[in-house]
Amino acid sequence: MSCRVFGVCIVAGILLTNSAFVAAAETSNPAGSPSPAAAPSIAPLADKLLTGACQALASSKAFTFHAEILFDELLPRAVKVQFAGAMDFALQRPDQLMVDYRSDLGSKMLWYQGTTLTILDPSHNVYSILSVPGSIDGMLEQVATSQGLTIPLTDLAFSDPCQNLRKQIIFGGYIGINDVNGVDADHLAFSSSREDLQFWLARSGKAIPLKLVITYRTEPGSPEYIATFSDWKFPAELPSDRFRATLPKDVKRIEFLKVKESQP
């Protein structure tokens, strides 16, 4: 599951992007970590509930939600500090997406419509436009590969939200019925070779995520990413202007820096 900070920074007038989703460091497995070669071991109930949540999102033509986010960063001398953020998210399948992300470390806005992706950095008053494939899946895959950009929580936007997650999971279990802001939720826990993931899913109505915790177990300090979801809506259709870029008058356009392909 990809959920680190929406990292976009400015260097020498070029929009640079950091991997922000599955961003665990390339470190060797510490003793006691699950082996990636082991066959996945997922409790049947956990598997059923996860599949139900992914199907609920995949079958929805449009949805919106709000997320309150907490994330850890490691400072020099291994001091771990926590920052906060918030995200508003809107999706209309097959080719429209809007993300409004604000945090203690900056803010970003993203609009995707048809074959055009626009990203605004209000803090630096700059934006960039990319030509991308005409599907949400294709757009997310292209910008991750070509620009090194991954956007928090957009695993939920894929046509199969479980696909990337299931490629990583090597263990999963059902913890029980636990609380998220006064609401009973099914609590699931999963492990990959580098991360521990926990989901709290709604027990009534659609099996939507109410909370997500990712622990980057193999990174120094084992930082966590926590998202608490609210205000889920599933309209038949969203207004098209929701996905149309709204830019300040004096904003400056700059270019993305492409990720260099590795040499053989």
Residues 6 or more apart in contact with residue 181 via CB below 8 angstroms: 210, 228, 230
Is residue 40 exposed (0-12), middle (13-18) or buried (19+ Cβ within 10 Å)?
middle
d(CA 195, CA 193): 6
Instruction: Compute the average pLDDT of residues 111-127.
Output: 95
CATH class of 8-19+41-241: mainly beta
Q: Is the pLDDT of residue 244 over 80?
A: yes
Residue with tokens 């292209």: 142
Q: Is the pLDDT of residue 30 over 90?
A: no
CA distances from 48 to 162, 164, 171, 173 (A): 12, 17, 14, 11
d(CA 199, CA 178): 11
Read off the pTM.
Answer: 0.83
d(CA 22, CA 43): 23
Mind listing the pLDDT tens digit for each residue in 167-199?
999 999 999 999 999 999 999 999 999 999 999
Q: DSSP 3-state assignment of 228?
A: strand
Q: Is the pLDDT of residue 241 over 60?
A: yes
Query: Where in the chain are the domains?
Result: 8-19+41-241
Mind listing the pLDDT tens digit for each residue in 36-87?
455 679 999 999 999 999 999 999 999 999 999 999 999 988 899 999 999 9
DSSP-derived letter for residue 23 is: -
